[in-house]
Chains A and B, each alone.
Chain A
Amino acid sequence: MAYITMREAISQALREEMYRDERVFIMGEEVGVWGGTYAVTRGFLDEFGEKRVRDTPIAEGVIVGAAIGAAIAGLRPVAELMTINFAFLAMDQIVNHAAKLHYMFNGQIRCPMVIRTVGGGGRQLAATHSQSPDVVFAHFPGLKVVAPGTPADAKGLLKSAIRDEDPVFFIEHATLYQLRGEVPDDEEYLVPIGVSDVKREGKDVTIVSYSKMLQTSLQAAEQLSKEGIEAEVIDLRTLRPLDVLPVVQSVQKTNRLVVVEEGWRSYGVGAEIAARVMERAFDYLDAPVRRVAQIEVPLPYNRRLEQMALPQVEDVVRAVYDVLYRK
């Protein structure tokens, strides 16, 4: 175990997998000479050389498309998109190609690749650089969508993603890179894709979340604990395939559910979780499910306005009060 940042954990996962498998390589904007715009691949160019750490032009379509092609031909590309907002420029490759080729050609084509990208708001980058459109990508069968909320999960999930035979869309949160936590040194430390995780046990209310909002939810749970409310916090970790069983089991115990996501409420993670819990644990619910999500506006630059739009610890606490019918 080592107490390291999320950035170091992700970097470690990449480095270990590149040493393990000669087919693994990195391509993307500023991954080489610059060392990664979030400094995840700093030093990689010297360590692995230009063949395996490839700076690309600013051309998201061909970054993702060429990664798909390399994967078809048997390599294990890790393509980096500088932010999730730029993934929209590669949307056709992600949705119409990576997610479809295996099925459409009846299993003849495989795309074992990872698209690493950075999502989330809160850094005063304004409307086009601050989005959390994670559910957009989770909509499509054929993709696996992963969004870790702790350094240990980031490492274990990224290693699993690189070893996976399917295309994995891996979303890191821009404000979590400095988050520290205990991370196993073991090179075979893997976290399975598609398994939710109970991050905090509690009996009074279930809070479901992931990525940055996991941390927000855990802080809310600490605050609630001081008032005698014990929240169970579940980290989805993977948005597709969605592992809802731990949520159902938790709701059967707590009878109350709050879902917290950074993206917009409409058609969001909260809507999906609420629907699935209705289908499987309707009789256990003692209060309507509450969703905590971003206000439905493009994010503004101004810091105060931006923070108003993003879900805060107090919003989670208030939602918990609501499902407990507390004033």
Chain B
Amino acid sequence: MPDELSREELLEMYRQMVLIRRLEEKSAELYTAGLIGGFLHLYIGEEAIAVGACKALRPDDHLLTAYRDHGWAIARGLDPKRVMAELLGKATGVSGGKGGSMHLASAEHNYWGGHAIVGGHLPLATGIGLAIRYREEDKAVLCVFGEGSTNIGYFHESLNLAAVWKLPVVFLVENNQYGMGTEVSRASARSDIFEKGCSYDVASAPVDGQDVLAIYRAMRQALDYARQHGPYLMEAKTYRYSGHSMGDPERYRSKAEIERWRAHDPIDRLANVLISHAWADKPALEKIHQDVEQEMEEIVRFAQESPEPDDAALYEHVYVNPIPER
């Protein structure tokens, strides 16, 4: 087995990737049916990154991500039923129906959100890293964002400060080649994003974002490095099959390009590894797909049958200590 992962663990990673993909496909359906509002950013094609990286995280490590967050929430262990309920704006949603697709979080999982201001959560991750050093804890922060965020000031301010203070933060770039519809080479002076770590003396490396085992391996090392030394910049080269969000006309890329990436599909690749090493056969994998299908029915049913937030929820949590205006 690679990297001390048991057969069961590998199959579980496979199951998670399938579940994430099916949940995204289902979300697209529900969005089209008008049951999900706002924006919906799908993670299809990028599943290996969340699953591989979260496998390397310890429960008491911290996680922050951008708004393409459904896959991350599930890989981090949040209840998929409550993730779907959040997409439907229900009271049982992970954010009580007040955050929506882009703002999933779970304090008990040290998952501090789903953030939708591009780059805005990098300083937050830096601060959580500061708190870890302040209390001399053996923990790390994983901060995930798209390559589009690396052109914004926050990226540079955060990498710099994390390096000056040697904070235990892994900055993980999901380079899916496009910031909305703008290709990386048209927006970033360097297309190999990991090279930007050099500016701040931050250790960095690229990784194949379509290979869940490569991600897992690299992330374990990166987290260990961060705990011991300081920040680390990892660039996962990846691709999203869907548009930036629902309703994206996709004028900026060709069908052929999408097909080229689909030939390296992360789920198929793990299936090939499992079969070629005889850790699973085709019927066993098929069974996983069937089980996920069944689970999806329960997930959607739970979300649809869940209650709306009550009126009082509108006013709750503006403040921890609200002070009535007299």
Contact of B158 with A62 in the complex, beta carbons under 8 Å:
yes
- A62-B154, A109-B105 as given contacts; A73 in contact with B128, CB under 8 Å: yes
Q: How far is the CB of B6 from chain A (nearest CB, A)?
A: 32
Which one of B213-221, B222-230, B269-277, B318-326 is at the A interface?
Answer: B318-326
Contact of A73 with B95 in the complex, beta carbons under 8 Å:
no
A294 touches B (CB below 8 Å): no
Contact of B127 with A92 in the complex, beta carbons under 8 Å:
no
Number of interface residues of B (CB under 8 A): 46
Chain B residue nearest in CB terms to A99 = B318
Compute how far the CA of A246 lies from the CA of B325 in the bound complex, rounded to whole angstroms. 11
Residues of B92-106 at the interface with A, using a CB-CB cut-off of 8 Å, are 95-99, 103, 105-106
Which one of A7-15, A51-59, A121-129, A297-305 is at the B interface?
Answer: A51-59
Contact of A71 with B321 in the complex, beta carbons under 8 Å:
no
B123 touches A (CB below 8 Å): yes
Which one of A100-108, A209-217, A316-324 is at the B interface?
Answer: A100-108
Compute how far the CA of A308 lies from the CA of B164 in the bound complex, rounded to whole angstroms. 45
A residues in contact with B99, CB < 8 Å? 104-106
Which one of B27-35, B130-138, B251-259 is at the A interface?
Answer: B130-138
Most buried by A among B121, B127, B130: B127
Compute how far the CA of A75 lies from the CA of B113 in the bound complex, rounded to whole angstroms. 18
B residues in contact with A243, CB < 8 Å? 325-326
Contact of A144 with B120 in the complex, beta carbons under 8 Å:
no
Contact of A108 with B106 in the complex, beta carbons under 8 Å:
yes
Classify the interface of chain B: helix, strand, loop or mixed. mixed
Compute how far the CA of A96 lies from the CA of B323 in the bound complex, rounded to whole angstroms. 21
Contact of A57 with B96 in the complex, beta carbons under 8 Å:
no
Chain A residue nearest in CB terms to B131 = A73
What 1/0 flags go to A163-181 for Cβ under 8 Å of B? 0111000000000000000
Compute how far the CA of A66 lies from the CA of B98 in the bound complex, rounded to whole angstroms. 24
Contact of B127 with A93 in the complex, beta carbons under 8 Å:
no
Contact of B106 with A241 in the complex, beta carbons under 8 Å:
no
Contact of A109 with B107 in the complex, beta carbons under 8 Å:
yes
A2 touches B (CB below 8 Å): no
What 1/0 flags go to B102-146 for Cβ under 8 Å of A? 010111000011010100111111111111101000000000000
Compute how far the CA of A196 lies from the CA of B131 in the bound complex, rounded to whole angstroms. 35
Compute how far the CA of A70 lies from the CA of B160 in the bound complex, rounded to whole angstroms. 17
Q: How far is the CB of B326 from chain A (nearest CB, A)?
A: 4
Compute how far the CA of A141 lies from the CA of B154 in the bound complex, rounded to whole angstroms. 24
A residues in contact with B161, CB < 8 Å? 56-57, 59, 62, 66
Contact of B323 with A65 in the complex, beta carbons under 8 Å:
no
Residues of A192-247 at the interface with B, using a CB-CB cut-off of 8 Å, are 192-194, 241-246
A residues in contact with B123, CB < 8 Å? 61-62, 64-66, 68-69, 93
Residues of B276-326 at the interface with A, using a CB-CB cut-off of 8 Å, are 316-321, 323-326
Compute how far the CA of A129 lies from the CA of B293 in the bound complex, rounded to whole angstroms. 61
Which of these, B106, B127, B316, contacts A69 with CB under 8 Å?
B127
Q: How far is the CB of A48 from chain B (nearest CB, A)?
A: 13
Contact of B127 with A106 in the complex, beta carbons under 8 Å:
no
Contact of A75 with B134 in the complex, beta carbons under 8 Å:
yes
B residues in contact with A110, CB < 8 Å? 320
Compute how far the CA of A128 lies from the CA of B321 in the bound complex, rounded to whole angstroms. 34
Number of interface residues of A (CB under 8 A): 51
A156 touches B (CB below 8 Å): no
A97 touches B (CB below 8 Å): yes
Q: How far is the CB of A145 from chain B (nearest CB, A)?
A: 12
Which of these, A66, A107, A241, A244, contacts B127 with CB under 8 Å?
A66
Which of these, B107, B117, B130, contacts A70 with CB under 8 Å?
B130
Contact of A106 with B126 in the complex, beta carbons under 8 Å:
no
B81 touches A (CB below 8 Å): no
A44 touches B (CB below 8 Å): no
Residues of A69-115 at the interface with B, using a CB-CB cut-off of 8 Å, are 69-75, 77, 92-93, 96-97, 101-110, 112
B residues in contact with A101, CB < 8 Å? 113
What 1/0 flags go to B225-241 for Cβ under 8 Å of A? 00000000000000000
- A105-B105, A106-B98 as given contacts; A165 in contact with B125, CB under 8 Å: no
Q: How far is the CB of B217 from chain A (nearest CB, A)?
A: 28
Chain B residue nearest in CB terms to A64 = B123
A264 touches B (CB below 8 Å): no
Residues of B147-194 at the interface with A, using a CB-CB cut-off of 8 Å, are 153-154, 157-158, 160-161, 164-165
Compute how far the CA of A295 lies from the CA of B321 in the bound complex, rounded to whole angstroms. 37
Compute how far the CA of A65 lies from the CA of B129 in the bound complex, rounded to whole angstroms. 12
Contact of B158 with A65 in the complex, beta carbons under 8 Å:
yes
B62 touches A (CB below 8 Å): yes
Chain B residue nearest in CB terms to A89 = B153
Q: How far is the CB of B325 from chain A (nearest CB, A)?
A: 5
Q: How far is the CB of A113 from chain B (nearest CB, A)?
A: 9
Most buried by B among A66, A69, A102, A103: A69
Compute how far the CA of A69 lies from the CA of B123 in the bound complex, rounded to whole angstroms. 7
B residues in contact with A66, CB < 8 Å? 123-124, 126-127, 130, 158, 161
Chain B residue nearest in CB terms to A112 = B320
Contact of A97 with B117 in the complex, beta carbons under 8 Å:
yes
Contact of A165 with B320 in the complex, beta carbons under 8 Å:
yes
12 of the cross-chain contacts (CB-CB < 8 Å) are A51-B134, A57-B161, A59-B153, A61-B123, A61-B153, A62-B160, A65-B158, A68-B124, A97-B121, A102-B318, A103-B317, A244-B326
Knowing that A66-B130, A72-B128, A144-B323 are A-B contacts, what are 14 other residue pairs whose CB atoms are under 8 Å apart, sorted by A's residue number? A25-B134, A59-B157, A62-B158, A66-B123, A70-B128, A70-B131, A70-B134, A72-B112, A77-B127, A104-B113, A107-B317, A108-B107, A142-B318, A245-B326
